Amino acid sequence: MSLIIQDSGLFSIVQSLDKRSSPDGQEFKGACDRLAHQLANQLVGNKKDELTIEMTVKPAVIKFTEPTIIAFSGAEFTGRCNNQEVLPNRIYLFDRGDVLKFVDTPRGNRIYLAVAGGIEVEGSNILKSGDEVIMCRDYTFQHDELFNMLRNRNMVSWGVDTYSLVEIYISDLFHVVRRPDISDEVYDRLESAEFTVSKEKNRVSLYLEGKHLDTDRSKVTHPGIKGGVYIAAGEPVLALNDFDQPTTAEHIGTIPSYHMHKLSQKRRGSKVKFKVIDCDDAHANLYAQDLWVKSLFKAIDYRLSKELVKDKM
C-alpha cells in the first residue's frame, strides 16, 4: 500500500534532508527548506533525515490507501480532507480512501510532508500524477502509541504555532557573507536597494530585479554553491540547492545557511533586501539558530510524550 499522487501539482519531489547519491539516478540534492523538512519529520516521530515530499507553489493532491499519520511544514498552505481543515505543523491521521488537497496561499513557496514510519520511491523521485509513494512502515513504539491516540480523534490538539516560527520566516532581509576581493561600493549598492524576485528556476536559482549592480569582471570561474549571490547582466541571481555547476557570473558573497529556510519560501513578487556581514558574525547567528531549533524539537518531543501519557490515563 502506498500514497497515491492523484495530481502532482506544480512540482513535487521526494526529497532527502542532505545531498546524497542515489544508484537509481534519483536526484536527492537536499531539502531547500531544511528546517521545514526536519520539523515535519519531528512532528510525526520520524528521524529528522527521513525522506519527505517537497511540494512547490501548487502542492499535490494525495490519496491515502491505509491509516497514515502525516504532518506538513513550511509555507502557510491549508489543506482540506473530508471537509476538515488541515493546518501546517500539526499531526493528523488519515484513513484509507481519504484525499488531501491544498488551498493556494499568497505567502510562501514550499511545503514538506512527512509520513510516520518513512517513505521511499522506486524510479524517479520527481512525482507525476498517478505515481505511488511507498510507505516504509518503519514504526517505532511511539508511532504505535500515536496511532492508538489518534484513533479516537484524527488530529492532535496542538501544533507549532506560526508565531513560534516568525523569527525564521517573516523577514525580507538576508545576510550575505562578504568576500575580501569585492569592493565596499558594490556592497553599499547591494544593501541600499530593495529587490523583487522576478522568477525561480525550480530548485536551482532565484532571479532578482531592482537596482543595477556593476562589478569588476574577474574572469574567474566560480563554484555553484547553495546560497551563492551571483551577478548576471547586472542583476543578482541567488543559488538554491540544485545550482551545482561552475559559473562565470561574478560571485559577490554567499547567504548563510540559517537564512536559506526563508529564501526557499520566497516566490515571484517577493521582496528581498541584503545586509553584508563577516563570516564570524554568520557563525554566531548560525549557532544561535541551531540552539533554538534543538530547543524547539525538544519541546515537541516533550509535548508529544505528555499527550501520549495523558491519553493512556
Partner 1 sequence: MFFANGDHAVTYQQNEVIDPLVLKRLTNAFNTDTHQYLTEIITTENTLTFMYEPVRVMESHDTIEPSGLVVEEAERFLVEKGFLK
* Residues near 299 by beta carbon (within 8 Å), at least 6 away in sequence: none
Q: Which three cell numbers stand for residue 301?
A: 518531543
Give least dist CB 290 to partner 1, A: 5
**Residue closer to partner 1 (CB basis): 217 or 310:** 217
Query: What torsion do the CA atoms of 231, 205, 240, 182 make, to the nearest 10 degrees?
Result: 0
**Residue closer to partner 1 (CB basis): 119 or 249:** 249
Rounded to 5 degrees, what angle do the CA atoms 201, 203, 204 make? 60
Rounded CA-CA distance 69/290 in Å is: 27
Give least dist CB 232 to partner 1, A: 16
Do residues 18 and 116 touch, judged by C-beta distance below 8 A? no
**Residue closer to partner 1 (CB basis): 213 or 238:** 238
**Residue closer to partner 1 (CB basis): 123 or 246:** 246
Exposure string over 136-171, b if 16+ CB within 10 A, otherwise e: eeebeebbebbbebbeeebbbeebbeeeebeebbee
Give least dist CB 35 to partner 1, A: 14
For residues 144 to 183, the per-residue mask of contacts with partner 1, x marking binding by CB under 8 A and - elsewhere, is ---------------------------------x-xxx--
For cell 480512501, the residue is 97
**Residue closer to partner 1 (CB basis): 47 or 268:** 47
* Residues near 233 by beta carbon (within 8 Å), at least 6 away in sequence: none
Rounded CA-CA distance 98/237 in Å is: 41
For residues 216 to 255, the per-residue mask of contacts with partner 1, x marking binding by CB under 8 A and - elsewhere, is --xxxxxx-xxxx---------------x-x------xxx
Footprint on residues 190-219 left by partner 1 (CB under 8 A): 218-219
Give least dist CB 44 to partner 1, A: 24
**Residue closer to partner 1 (CB basis): 104 or 184:** 184
**Residue closer to partner 1 (CB basis): 91 or 263:** 263
Give least dist CB 241 to partner 1, A: 12
Rounded CA-CA distance 194/118 in Å is: 41
Give least dist CB 213 to partner 1, A: 19
Among residues 144, 191, 209, 290, the one that binds partner 1 under rule CB under 8 A: 290
Backbone angles phi, psi at 248, to 5 degrees: -95, -5
Count of residues binding partner 1 (CB under 8 A)? 30
Tell me if 16 contacts partner 1 by CB under 8 A: no
How would you class 189 by CB atoms within 10 Å of its CB: exposed for 0-12, middle for 13-18, buried for 19 or more? middle
User: Any bridge partners for residue 85, and if so which?
Assistant: 80
Q: Which three cell numbers stand for residue 209?
A: 530585479
Among residues 63, 126, 257, 273, the one that binds partner 1 under rule CB under 8 A: 257
Binding residues vs partner 1 (CB under 8 A): 177, 179-181, 218-223, 225-228, 244, 246, 253-258, 279-280, 282-284, 286-287, 290
